[in-house]
Chain A
């Protein structure tokens, strides 16, 4: 339980600004719903693979986006400021705990934010797309994704050294993944060369896994393995980076 104080601190922040977070988590899916779902979505209907409605396509994409943006960003921001500006990250480094638990604590903080945001988005999506069916497989996929993105947040958060790095992470990692990972537009409808490239993004298998678990396709082992693979990679990078801090 050495990781618990890090999550406890995150819970205090969430409690202190509960309503702000709730509005924040609700606003983003609403904007996407109005802009894409009810806006250009009607015209995108023709592009949908398998002839499903755009809203049905969008729902898992929105959940994936919520998991990704909140999981990764919350950890990046917390690590960025506590490491480089407030130095409070040192208080954790000075605690008598193994570096693995330090990694785990931050990853779980991101996971927590990720899951909360996903829950809010699902609530909104249920109102907009009443026919949505949730399965256990979907729940498992959500948890896997949240953990994966929490650990990605730790990797990026440890890598940042300046505001420029933060901007670079946004421009080169977060924004391309947001729009190109099959969340808003089907991967099959991207330009040819991009269709292969986007599989290098961890968000792509997550989005597709969520989508498959929301339909009769169910649990896709390959997509789940890809998601787990990304998580293992992020774990090793994050953990080794924490271990090497101070060199």
Chain B
């Protein structure tokens, strides 16, 4: 299977092309009792993509990731990672993936370096290579000076950077990141974004979940919007915005904030001039796409 590679929006360095799919979900369903956490999702992620699953808390994003990384079994459907069936060849899948979980799951009483060493032992990285890679990655995430401190003394941002280093230690071609910047200050968030882009340029495919619109918009080649366990939209941020109209006219109506979308700024301005109330004309963003598709306000993304 192949995925249509999106245009690289930030740099414009390459045109659409077809790449092999390295992550695949086929009609995946997951029930927790009577609750349908994931409801018939099919999805392909191509090699070298940064793919974002965007949706509010409880939408089913984390469940999708947990099924892909072998931690949760689907009720129905099939999942493939790096060409291996997740249900049939979990050990092969685990060899080829790195995981940055939503919660810090480092061993708190071990130091940063010991946590990396533990991971290297688990992945059977041979001795000299192990030490070299650990030092390399500690430098990569800027934690060399604090490497011998226990994790319980790390800030949230430091722990998250170490989680990324740990996920990359065995050089997986595919990286799963569940809310990689949740709860971080803007500066640290930017640093994490830089790291993700750097890894992607080195050939790593990244599938991340987020409920931050800005993160999905600025980081991801393609975005899937998830709500109530269903994938309700899929495309590049530009495609998703264009599906509504490039320009948004926003105003406060009797029923709250209303939005109208136009293909051009001229159309939006003309609309604004014909209204008596204050109208803001701006570029359409992914938040608009989310609100239009789900009927839910974007603040629900962060409040759950």
Contact = CB atoms under 8 A, between A and B. Distances in A.
Contacts of B105: 86-88, 90-91
Interface majority SS (helix, strand, loop, mixed), chain B: loop
Interface string A208-226: 0000000000000000000
B98 to A, nearest CB: 9
A96 interface: yes
Interface in B112-127: 114, 118-119, 121-124
Given A16-B109, A90-B105, A97-B91, A8 B70 contact: no
A4 B121 contact: yes
Given A90-B71, A94-B69, A8 B118 contact: yes
A94 B71 CA distance: 8
Given A91-B119, A246-B73, A96 B94 contact: yes
Interface string B128-153: 00000000000000000000000000
B114 A5 contact: no
B194 interface: no
Contact of A87 (B69, B94, B101, B122): B101
A94 B94 contact: yes
Interface string B62-97: 000010011111000000000000000001101101
- For A5, A245, A247, the residue with the greatest tally of chain B CB atoms inside 10 Å of its CB is A5
Given A94-B94, A94-B97, 13 more contacts: A2-B124, A4-B121, A5-B118, A5-B121, A8-B121, A12-B110, A86-B108, A90-B101, A91-B122, A94-B69, A96-B91, A246-B72, A246-B73
Contact of A95 (B72, B107, B110, B122): B122
Interface string A109-128: 00000000000000000000
A98 interface: yes
Contact of A94 (B72, B73, B99, B104): B99
A96 B123 contact: yes
Name the 5 nearest CB pairs between A and B, nearest first: A95-B122, A5-B121, A87-B105, A96-B94, A96-B95
Contacts of B101: 87, 90
25 contacts: A2-B122, A4-B121, A8-B121, A9-B110, A9-B118, A12-B110, A16-B109, A82-B107, A86-B105, A87-B104, A87-B105, A88-B105, A88-B106, A88-B108, A90-B101, A91-B107, A91-B118, A93-B70, A93-B71, A94-B69, A94-B99, A96-B95, A97-B122, A246-B72, A246-B73
A13 interface: yes
B103 interface: yes
A58 B109 CA distance: 37
Interface in B157-205: none
A20 to B, nearest CB: 12
Contacts of B121: 4-5, 8
A75 to B, nearest CB: 16
A94 B73 CA distance: 14
Contacts of B91: 96-98
